[in-house]
Structure 1
Amino acid sequence: MQKQIEQQSLTINFFMTFIVAISGIIVYFLTNIQALLLDGFFSFISFLSAIIGIYISRISHRKTARYPHGLHFLEPLYAIFKSILILLLLLLALINASETALQYFLAGEGEVLDVGPILPYTFFVVSLCFALSFYNHYQNKKIHGLSTILAAEAKGSLIDGLQSLGAGLAFALLYVIPIKGPLGFLHYTGDFFVTAISVICLISEPIKMFHQAFIELSHGLALDQEITEPIDDLILKHFQDLLPHVNYEIIKIGMSVKVKIYIEHEQTEILAETLAIRTPFLKELQQTYSNAHVEMIYT
């Protein structure tokens, strides 16, 4: 069920991001504004990643001789590569826009920005991106925030929408700024300032995405309360009488959740009782997280 929700959501992402990407690229060719190229190719990356995400979502649960618990590591790996692509795109757009601004300030050469179709484009794209981000977040919340892929897509759509909104509002100011006035240089260099501000405001998001995905890929402990609280409640329900002698850790890798339960080695009676509780605990745990595993460890 959880995988079905993830795959349905990614299919919606596939179609929506394709529309947004095509819109951005078309408007870029009409205006030749670098910030819109950033916007269009950002959406194009989201479109391509949706295709990859659908494929990973379909195969990550498969078990092999080498990976008996499945290929769930592909999900944080996907988020890592997507965050790197976003960072590279932001930096490349900033470099390209800087070249145009330097050419104007140093040589006095440049072309007046054509902002004709900016406002209708901005309204259309921002509406789609924000709606898609909310949809991804809502769908992920339905499965307790378990999907690393949907979390990455929600953040990517939000970044795309904010970048489009910032660019649209900034370029809209050019409608009221006289080209012969003291701020007239913005008609030639506004592209650079919008791109620079967008990069500064948005660059932290792919870094956060990378950090979270790396924690998952390196088997770091899950700290997200939306994921851990249901498990904490189940631990308390099943192991309440044994908690002074039992510790546990929660590790999330993609949509796979592993609960490691540590038992004191010398307490053989506690070990036997814990092993007896393991089956009903795992059964109830898998009702919430279908790809959950329990590992018992001596200490």
Structure 2
Amino acid sequence: MEQNKENRALLVGAAANIVMAVMAWATYYYSNSEAILLDGNYSFIMFLGVLVAMKIVAVRATKSKTFPLGKFFYESLYGFIKGLMIFGVLVMSVVTAVVRIVMYFTGLSDNIPMLIPDPILYYALACAVICYGVSFFYYQQNRSMGNTSILLKTEQKATFVDGTLSLGIGVGVFFLSSGAGGGGFIPYLADSFFVLILAAMLIKEPLTIIKESVIELAGGTLQDEKKRAIFEAAITGNMPEAFNIEGIFISKNGSQYVVLIYISTDEAYYIKADIVAAKTKISHILMKDHAHLLLDIIPESNPISDLSQG
């Protein structure tokens, strides 16, 4: 069921991105806006990325001798690469904007085509509606899955960035270059200044994606504090009284969660049946919203520090 939701959401996103890419290329032809061209290339990269994401959904749970726990790391790797791609698009936009500004103020304005605002506005409004709609759709689908899909989370943020760039550049360029103050450098550099402003506002999104993906790939602890609280509540509320919880390690790799519970006991020995029963009960509770779960309870003769704080 979850895989079907992901595939359906990704298909919608793929269709939207290829449509926006074609729209952007046509708009660039009629408007001379380099920012719109970059936006179109970004949408096309998004389209290719969604195709890769759909392939990951199909193979992530496949187990082999090399990957006995599945290939969920592909999801985290995809998030990392997609974050780099988004970051790269923003950097390219900034570099292009700076080059245009430098060319203008060094007397090379003849080499910079003047902007034609009308096509930019139509494109901006259309893409904003599409992007924000798809981003919200990704959000809703991921929320219905317990926010477990790093693929949908990554696509949601990337689509939101795309929509904000399109809207900000398009509307800003239109009003500046067609308004009363549309003389001087504005017809040449309006989109460049908006690129710089929006890039500064949006740079946090890809950096967050990259950081979270690296932590997952490295096997670090779960960063989502709300999700951690849900896991810990299920564990502490269903552990036999005879067992003392000495540490809880929770890690996430794509849509797979790994939970290690370290316990001690005041009794002379552990009762294996009690450990198995507790593991089964806790796993059953958590797997209602986290289908890909690996959970183990590890008896320790000596108390250990809480690994979740490392």
Could you say which TM-score interval applies, normalised by the shorter chain? over 0.9
Aligned to 1:279: 280
TM-score (norm 2): 0.89
Q: What do the CA deviations read for 1:44-89 (whole angstroms, capped 9, x no partner)?
A: 1111110000001110111111211100000010010011111112
CA distance in 2, matches of 1:278, 1:130: 42
Aligned to 2:207: 207
Residues 84-99 of structure 1 aligned to structure 2 (within 5 Å)? 84-99=84-99
CA distance in 2, matches of 1:267, 1:44: 62
How far is 1:216 from its partner? 1.1
CA distance in 1, matches of 2:169, 2:88: 19
Aligned to 1:146: 148
Aligned to 1:295: 296
How far is 1:105 from its partner? 0.9
How far is 1:12 from its partner? 1.2
- Change in Cα spacing, 1:212 to 1:242, as seen in structure 2 (3 Å) is farther
CA distance in 1, matches of 2:250, 2:256: 11
How far is 1:265 from its partner? 8.0
The two structures, once aligned, show a CA RMSD in angstroms of 1.9
How far is 1:100 from its partner? 2.0
- Change in Cα spacing, 1:192 to 1:243, as seen in structure 2 (3 Å) is farther
CA distance in 1, matches of 2:147, 2:66: 28
How far is 1:97 from its partner? 2.5
CA distance in 2, matches of 1:234, 1:212: 24
Most deviating of 187-196 and 138-147: 187-196
Aligned to 2:37: 37
CA distance in 1, matches of 2:92, 2:281: 53
Most deviating of 36-45 and 50-59: 36-45
Which letter does structure 1 place at the counterpart of 2:205?
E
Aligned to 1:249: 249
Most deviating of 100-109 and 155-164: 100-109
Aligned to 1:175: 178
In structure 2, the residue corresponding to 1:241 is in which secondary structure? coil
Please say if residues 131 and 162 of structure 2, whose CA atoms lie closer than 8 Å, have aligned partners that are also in contact: yes
Most deviating of 252-261 and 103-112: 103-112
Which letter does structure 1 place at the counterpart of 2:296?
E
Please say if residues 257 and 292 of structure 1, whose CA atoms lie closer than 8 Å, have aligned partners that are also in contact: yes
Q: What do the CA deviations read for 1:228-275 (whole angstroms, capped 9, x no partner)?
A: 343233213321525634432211111111110112388564453223
CA distance in 1, matches of 2:25, 2:271: 62
Q: What do the CA deviations read for 1:150-209 (whole angstroms, capped 9, x no partner)?
A: 0000000100011111102211222113444xxx21111213212211211111110011
Residues 1-299 of structure 1 aligned to structure 2 (within 5 Å)? 1-109=1-109, 110-173=112-175, 174-180=177-183, 184-239=184-239, 241-242=241-242, 244-264=244-264, 269-270=269-270, 272=272, 273-299=274-300
Q: What do the CA deviations read for 1:33-52 (whole angstroms, capped 9, x no partner)?
A: 11111211121111111000
Please say if residues 170 and 194 of structure 1, whose CA atoms lie closer than 8 Å, have aligned partners that are also in contact: yes
Please say if residues 5 and 141 of structure 2, whose CA atoms lie closer than 8 Å, have aligned partners that are also in contact: yes
CA distance in 2, matches of 1:100, 1:258: 49
TM-score (norm 1): 0.92
CA distance in 2, matches of 1:100, 1:223: 40
Which letter does structure 2 place at the counterpart of 1:23?
M
Please say if residues 242 and 270 of structure 1, whose CA atoms lie closer than 8 Å, have aligned partners that are also in contact: no
CA distance in 2, matches of 1:21, 1:267: 66
Please say if residues 14 and 47 of structure 1, whose CA atoms lie closer than 8 Å, have aligned partners that are also in contact: yes
- Change in Cα spacing, 1:243 to 1:124, as seen in structure 2 (3 Å) is farther
The structure that is helix-richer by fraction is 1
